Structure 1
Amino acid sequence: ILENFNIATEESEDPLGEDDFEIFYEVWEKFDPEATQFIKYSALSDFADALPEPLRVAKPNKFQFLMMDLPMVSGDRLHCLDILFAFTTRVLGDSDGLDSMKVMMEEKFMEANPSKKLYEPIVTTTKRKEEERCAAVIQKAFRKYRLRMSMSALGDRPCSQLHTLCNGDLSASGAEGKVHYD
């Protein structure tokens, strides 16, 4: 009885177990029904929130993904193992034992998926967020510039009676009647 109790205690102290990884893959299948091994970055928030504890990253979770600095491939897609490694590191912390666990997880993944697609990450989540922020700043500055240029172009044009509207009364322009816009 004591031996069973000790085994149960040791198992409960492990924050992650085999069942957690199996559940991870079950949830993954819902977000990647064609088994491409990738999900869109836009689906990551919902995926992370759908996982059970301890791997779950509850919403709002965008900032936590930035801290994980996940590698992304073309099309803003994330690989299954990269997400699993990042979530595992979040739960267990960064330690020497984690590296051996990652190797073991990758071996199990390769056994289950012998046709693992090779991919080359082109950017990370942190870098992508920085690019989006920079693009927003540039777009805002360009819009201000265009507005300023159009306002100065309007100010430089000579005014003619044909361009002047004064609430529909055209008597000053020599035309008879009023103009109404509905």
Structure 2
Amino acid sequence: MVIIGLGLTDDDYDMYYEKWQYLDPSGSQFIRYDQLSDFVDGLEPPLRIPKPNQLLLVAMDLPISDDDRMHCVDILDGLTKHFLGTLDVSTLGTGTNVPIDIKKDRPKDYRPITTTVQRQRETYLSRLGLRGFRTNVERCRCKRQSREPILERATIDELIELDDLETPTSIISCRNKICTIDSISIEQRERTPSNTSSICSFGGRSLC
């Protein structure tokens, strides 16, 4: 048995790829991002990370390809680094460190477009924006609901009272306008005697 990666063995890597085949029977070397948590939880120690493991997987900053696909080597690399980070270096002795060589050729359609950290940030910001939008909508709804009883009371009570108070003023103003119009018409009649005479003498007969 060859020791690889300061504690990880060939059997550990074989176990990893055996579990992988259940999710990737066609051998595409990819699984979906939403399968990652269940896959890692289903592994055997020392690579297994039991649920809840979402935050740990996000912290690994694993690449995510198009269509939310994740490559098997990227996941194995992240799990190996996580395992090595939990080891106590003082218990390893003075042996020579064996370099970790788990890189393999990626397929042609391997195109990372984001990472687990960036995806988590995007999800957080979208949830934050949606929460702010809902809060704003709820605030506007509460304001509208608080105004409706006031408008109802104003329509029934205050507006009627206001109308009663304004009625004499409107009548007086209307009367003043009528008086003004009447005075203007009287003045115009006094200033135009010809019109009066013409009206009084129509057809050669005196009508006045």
Residue of structure 2 in register with 1:42 after alignment: 34
Taking the aligned partners of 1:141 and 1:13, their CA distance within structure 2 comes to: 47
Identify which of 127, 130, 142 aligns with 2:121.
Answer: 130
User: 2:30 touches 2:71 (CA, 8 Å); kept in 1?
Assistant: yes
Structure 1 runs of 4+ aligned residues shifted over 6 Å read none
Q: CA deviation at 1:92?
A: 3.0
Give secondary structure in 1 for the equivalent of 2:112: coil
What's the TM-score, normalizing by structure 1?
0.65
Query: In the alignment, is residue 140 of structure 1 matched against residue 120 of structure 2?
Result: no
Q: Following the alignment from structure 2 to structure 1, what is the Cα–Cα distance between the partners of residues 4 and 75?
A: 24
Aligned-pair CA distance for 1:65? 0.7
Structure 2 unaligned regions, length at least 5: 86-96, 154-208
Letter in 2 for 1:35: G
Partner of 2:166: none
1:19 to 2:14 alignment: no
Q: How does 1:96-111 map to 2 (within 5 A)?
A: 100-102=99-101, 105-106=102-103, 109-110=104-105
Letter in 2 for 1:149: C
TM-score (normalizing by structure 2): 0.58
Measure the CA separation in 2 of the matches of 1:13 and 1:71. 21
- Pick which of 129-138 and 150-159 moved more: 150-159
Match of 2:112 in 1: 121
How far 1:141 moved relative to its partner? 0.7
Number of aligned pairs? Answer: 141
Structure with the bigger percentage of strand: 2
Distance 1:159 1:22, change over 3 A: same
CA change 1:33–1:12 in 2 (3 A) is closer
Judging by fraction of residues, say which structure has more helix.
Answer: 2
- Give the corresponding residue for 1:77: 69
Q: Could you tell me how far 1:18 is from its partner in structure 2? A: 1.6
Percent identity, aligned pairs only? 35
